[in-house]
Amino acid sequence: MPNYILYAIPKILIMVGFLFNVGGILTWVDRRQSAMIQDRVGPNRAVIKIGKFELRLWGLLHPAADGVKFFFKEDFMPPKADKLLFSLAPILAMIPVLCLVAVIPFGDTVCPDALIQTVGNVTQLPNIARSGLCTFDPRTGLQPIDLQIVSLDIGLLFVFAMAGQGIVSAAISGWSSDNKFSLMGALRASSQMVSYEVTLGLSVVGALMIYGTLRLGDMVRWQSEHAWGIFVQPVAFFIFFAALVAESKRIPFDLPEAESELVSGYFTEYSGMKFGMFYFAEYMEIVTSSMLVVTVFLGGWGLPFVHRDGITIAFGEGMLAQLPLPHLVVTVFGVLAFFIKTLTLCWIQTFVRWSLPRFRYDQLMGLCWKVLLPVSLANIFVTGVVWLLLDMAPPFVGNMLQLVGDATQGFVAVLVTFLVGSAVFGLFRSRTKDPRIIGASAELVRSAGKSPQSPMQA
């Protein structure tokens, strides 16, 4: 079997496995976190019993139980539905989400020669360039391996093409269901998704002008060398992120499936695993959109001051510290960094869902066409003028910018250390249980002069 097929199999397994597992766990995170925010107990019924031993894992078994349940539920199709389109829609919802990960790089290019050197002798540091090019040894004949399923020249366009397919599935599922609510949900969904796709496409143009490439791997390299996209293009970042949340049709943009108005929108008539496929595709979309934001704006696999040859803390010309690291360690750091950033962003998306109320439909469309679209056009103009002025500026301005870029890397490093530190500190701090925090209802009961009755009021 040729090498490129052999290398592709583990990469596909990693990405699809990550999507499936994180998508499943996110359904749990969503439910558990909503319970915490709304002062409820949350999912806790699924249990593995071995004799007297009960394994509950804070409800973590629920995604698995849900999956099994979905398969054994009745698979119902309305008699007047368009049979072909009705069956095709859930399949079409899932395929593009899985294909989208093809172009997303989850680590820096691996140089097999350098890896072999470090495996043979861990203490010996490989001769590896910082530029991202491998020193190719003709004796071993091993080509560098991109940690990306396909390295396409049109990477980002491919992502948009795949993301756009979601509209097809939403539209035909609503159309074929023979249900007014489904049809209205489908119309809302397609209208919303095409509108936000325009914004999504135009907001990222500012970043593309700076990176000068559509290859996602090269974007990450630019960010590792200079500064993360969020510092270079903050406006583009926020518009892009908002548009991506709108594309995945989640609160505050969940008008197509607004429960209080449309039951559950375009998949009202679906049951069993066919419903599960829509539901699961939505959660996998959260993961893919997080991966996309991480790659384009949050430095991808890059970590502050970590280069291919090790850690170099430098501001402009002033070098502070240097620590050479083996190729394997740097690669593992990069892959871990990418996945941890993705998980953090997934968590932020579930957190947003339980913090914001739903828009009205006219507000939703107004936000897209009257606010985000003009702002992203203005962003293109401002980026163009500033960037061309900088090209004309004397060299010391460039050095200043490099210094500022390095300062943002330092800022990120300090911020992450602080956040992780305070999270660890918060977890290990002994907490006195304040009844007011545990139950707002207990407060109410006490103020009425009674004593709390149920465990919820305790």
Partner 1 sequence: MHVQTYAPMFMLFVAATAIATLFFTLATVLGPSKPSAEKSLPFECGSDSDGAQHVRLSVKFYLTAILFVVFDIESVFVYPWAIQFRSLGWMGLASMMGFLLVILVGLVYAWKKGALEWET
Cα 128 to Cα 131: distance, rounded to the nearest angstrom: 9
Of the CA atoms within 13 Å of residue 70, those in its CB half-sphere come to: 16
Measure the N-to-C terminal CA separation of the chain; round to a whole number of Å.
64
Residue 361 as a binder of partner 1 (CB under 8 A): the answer is yes
Stretch that binds partner 1, among 10-18, 248-256, 403-411, 413-421 (CB under 8 A): 10-18
Q: CA torsion 314→317→322→327, rounded to 10°? A: 80
Contacts of 327 (CB under 8 A, 6+ apart): 110, 111, 114, 115, 117, 118, 126, 128, 308
Among 80, 139, 431, 433, binds partner 1 (CB under 8 A): 80
For residue 329, the minimal CB distance to partner 1 (Å) is: 27
- Category of 70 on φ-ψ map: left (φ > 0), alpha (ψ -120 to 50) or beta: alpha
Q: CA torsion 174→178→183→186, rounded to 10°? A: 0
Token pair belonging to 238: 């926020």
For residue 61, the minimal CB distance to partner 1 (Å) is: 20
Residue 407 as a binder of partner 1 (CB under 8 A): the answer is no
Among 47, 48, 57, 95, binds partner 1 (CB under 8 A): 95
Q: Which is nearer to partner 1, 45 or 180 (CB)?
A: 180
Cα 241 to Cα 264: distance, rounded to the nearest angstrom: 24
Stretch that binds partner 1, among 35-43, 84-92, 105-113, 228-236 (CB under 8 A): 84-92
CA 324, chain centre distance (Å): 31
Residue 377 as a binder of partner 1 (CB under 8 A): the answer is yes
For residue 397, the minimal CB distance to partner 1 (Å) is: 16
Among 85, 142, 208, 438, binds partner 1 (CB under 8 A): 208
Residue 1 as a binder of partner 1 (CB under 8 A): the answer is no
Residue 329 as a binder of partner 1 (CB under 8 A): the answer is no
For residue 40, the minimal CB distance to partner 1 (Å) is: 26
Residue 250, Cβ density class (10 Å: 0-12 exposed, 13-18 middle, ≥19 buried): buried
Token pair belonging to 444: 């109410």
Angle at 411 between CA 410 and CA 412, to 5 degrees: 90
* Range 263-282, binding partner 1 (CB under 8 A): 263, 268-269, 272-274, 276-277
Cβ-contact 268, 181 below 8 angstroms: yes
Q: Which is nearer to partner 1, 106 or 305 (CB)?
A: 106
* Range 121-160, binding partner 1 (CB under 8 A): 149-152, 157
Cα 88 to Cα 8: distance, rounded to the nearest angstrom: 28
Residue 14 as a binder of partner 1 (CB under 8 A): the answer is no
Residue 295 as a binder of partner 1 (CB under 8 A): the answer is no
Stretch that binds partner 1, among 24-32, 286-294, 368-376, 424-432 (CB under 8 A): 368-376
DSSP state of 429: S
Token pair belonging to 184: 């209205």
Which of 308, 291, 349 lies closest to 130, judged by CA?
308
Residue 401 as a binder of partner 1 (CB under 8 A): the answer is no
Q: Which is nearer to partner 1, 263 or 348 (CB)?
A: 263
3-state helix, strand, coil in the chain (%, to 5): 65, 5, 30
* Range 155-184, binding partner 1 (CB under 8 A): 157, 177-184
Cβ-contact 291, 255 below 8 angstroms: no
Stretch that binds partner 1, among 113-121, 212-220, 339-347, 446-454 (CB under 8 A): 212-220
Token pair belonging to 67: 């999956």
Contacts of 298 (CB under 8 A, 6+ apart): 228, 229, 230, 341, 345
Cβ-contact 406, 426 below 8 angstroms: no
Residue 84 as a binder of partner 1 (CB under 8 A): the answer is no
Residue 91 as a binder of partner 1 (CB under 8 A): the answer is yes
DSSP state of 372: I
Residue 55 as a binder of partner 1 (CB under 8 A): the answer is no
Among 214, 216, 232, 291, binds partner 1 (CB under 8 A): 214
For residue 345, the minimal CB distance to partner 1 (Å) is: 22
Q: Which is nearer to partner 1, 98 or 438 (CB)?
A: 98
For residue 393, the minimal CB distance to partner 1 (Å) is: 14
DSSP state of 154: T
Among 54, 74, 317, 434, binds partner 1 (CB under 8 A): 74
- Amino acid identity of residue 111, one-letter, is C
Q: Which is nearer to partner 1, 95 or 319 (CB)?
A: 95
Give the three-class secondary structure for 307.
strand
Beta bridge partners of 315: 318
Among 33, 165, 213, 441, binds partner 1 (CB under 8 A): 213
For residue 448, the minimal CB distance to partner 1 (Å) is: 36
Residue 109 as a binder of partner 1 (CB under 8 A): the answer is no
Among 370, 420, 423, 450, binds partner 1 (CB under 8 A): 370
Stretch that binds partner 1, among 133-141, 185-193, 250-258, 428-436 (CB under 8 A): 185-193
For residue 236, the minimal CB distance to partner 1 (Å) is: 11
